[in-house]
Every structure is written in structure tokens, then in C-alpha cells.
Amino acid sequence: MKRGFMQLCLFLLPALACLPGRAEIVVTDVGGTTIKLAAPARRIISLAPNITELVFAAGAGDRLVGNVEFGEYPPAVKAVPKIGGYARFDLEAIMALKPDLILGWESGNDAASISRLRSMGLTVHLSEVDRIEDIAGEIERIGKLAGTEAIAGPVAVAFRQRHAKLLARYSGRPPVNVFYQIWKQPLMTVNSRQIISDVISLCGGRNVFAQLPGLAPTVSIEAVIAANPEAIVASGMGDVRPEWLDDWKRWRTLAAVSRGNLYFVPPDLIQRHTPRILDGAELLCAHLEAARGKRSR
């Protein structure tokens, strides 16, 4: 019996040696750093609100053990411990959570703090979404890192399809000159490299300050009057239309004012690099379509 068992083992060993093992997960982040995981991440920390949403979109919300302030969507994330804000996070709190993957935001997180995390032996993947189409790819990368490709893949496909439909419907419409106002004091807008400007283009709009340097440049009232936008779109801080949007009504010579084209889009739907940006795009596209309809009056 023993001899037979040994013969069986000798027969099986070569076959077992040929069986594929668990493949290492390899992803290159936006900074060019190669991220390697021996197995899908099980303890993930997000260092930005937009990344938190992407984690849930990729089907990895149950792997999230650390979150940042203002990372409040979807509602299930409110139960996840906070480790500070995206601009300043608590390194000790992060270490205590024993993450096997940290997802950071290249332009939003402090570079020195990211370097410190990496020097402490933690795996940090950085993302930077500059265009609407980049969102789907980021969902796929997170899905790969978390082993949730079966969920992330279809979500990414659906996002691309919805984006394509909006492009087909609105991008070829007659252009509308748009001033997008982030804030009142200082008076801030966006340039062409900001994803909000990409949403404006998707809707057939034309950002009147696209050429300015800096993602969120400061402008003067005189510059806005000189640009004479056909529509002024504001975001503000929450879901309520900011009162200061109506301050423009004193400048009656502005096309946006004379035609009643002062519009609001909730910031969470247009300023966060998440799948919800297409909800914001639909609102903005509807506003610009309304502006076009007022041209014949």
C-alpha cells in the first residue's frame, strides 16, 4: 500500500508542478510607479473623496478600512473610519489600520506625505483623472488591484457607453460660450485642463477662460464682462444654488443675464472625478440646450 501511494505521489508531482499559481497583480500608476500585489487587496485606504467613490464603483467598498473627510458617498462609506483630510492625513492612524493598499490622489495629496508612506513600506497607488474617459480606466485599475474585475469591468463599459451617447447627442450642437464659476471671493473659474472644462465641451459649450494657466485661475469681474459669456454656470459648496450667482444680474449687458442663463450644477456632480460626473453632464447639457433655445426669442 505504501509503495503504491509513493508511486502515485511521484506520478502526480510533475503534474502539480505544472499547475498555474496565483498570478501577481501588476499595475502602473499615473506617476509611473509599478504597483505589485501578491494577492488582491483586502484592506484598502482611500486618500480622497473621489477615490472613495471609485472604490465603491469598482465593487471594492467592502475592502475599504480607511477614508477621508468629505468622503460621504455612497452612504455606506459613513461607517468607515476617517484618517484625516485629503490634504493632511494622519500617518499613525493609517499605520494602525494595517492597509495592504493605499489609493492616493496625485494632485490632491501632499507629495511629501505620499513619499513618507512609501518609505514606511506601504503600497501606494496614485491616480489622476484629467478627462471624463479616464474615469472608466481608473475603475478598471482599482478592480484589478482589489480582484473585483467582474464588477468593475461592466461598470466601466456602462460608463463608456453612457459617455458616448452624451457625446453623440450634444458635442456637435451649436457652441455656447460658458463662464464656469467655482467661487465668488476670490472669483475663480477653470481652465481647459480641468475635467469640468471637458464636461463643458461634451455639452457643446466653450469655456471662455480655457486658455488661462492653472487649473483653477482667479479672474476679475471686468474679464468676465469682456468675455460676455452666453451662460454662467456656478457650483458653490453644496446641493443648494448659491445666492451669489444672482449677483451677476446687476450686469444687464451680459448675454447670460439678459437671456436668463444663470445656471447651477451641484458640485458633487461635476467637480468630483467619479461616475456621477455624467449626472452633472446631463444637467449641464440640458442647461446649455435651454440657452440655445432662447436665441430665437
Give the model confidence (pLDDT) of 76-94 as tens digits: 999 999 999 998 999 999 9
Domain count of the fold of the chain: 2
Do 90 and 216 belong together in one domain? no
Last residue of a domain, one of 125, 156, 187: 156
260-293 confidence digits (pLDDT tens): 999 999 999 999 999 999 999 999 999 999 999 9
State residue 297's pLDDT score: 56
Model pTM score:
0.87
Do 277 and 217 belong together in one domain? yes
Domain that holds residue 79: 20-156
Q: Output the average pLDDT for the chain.
A: 91
Do 223 and 115 belong together in one domain? no
Do 149 and 198 belong together in one domain? no
Q: Which residues of the chain are under the pLDDT cut of 50?
A: 1-21
Listing DSSP states for 70-132 in one string gives: T---SGGGGGSPB-B-SSSB-HHHHHHT--SEEEEETTTS-HHHHHHHHHTT--EEEE---ST
Do 148 and 180 belong together in one domain? no
State residue 11's pLDDT score: 41
Asked whether residue 235 is domain-assigned, the answer is: yes
CATH code (residue 196): 3.40.50.1980
Do 246 and 283 belong together in one domain? yes
State residue 16's pLDDT score: 38
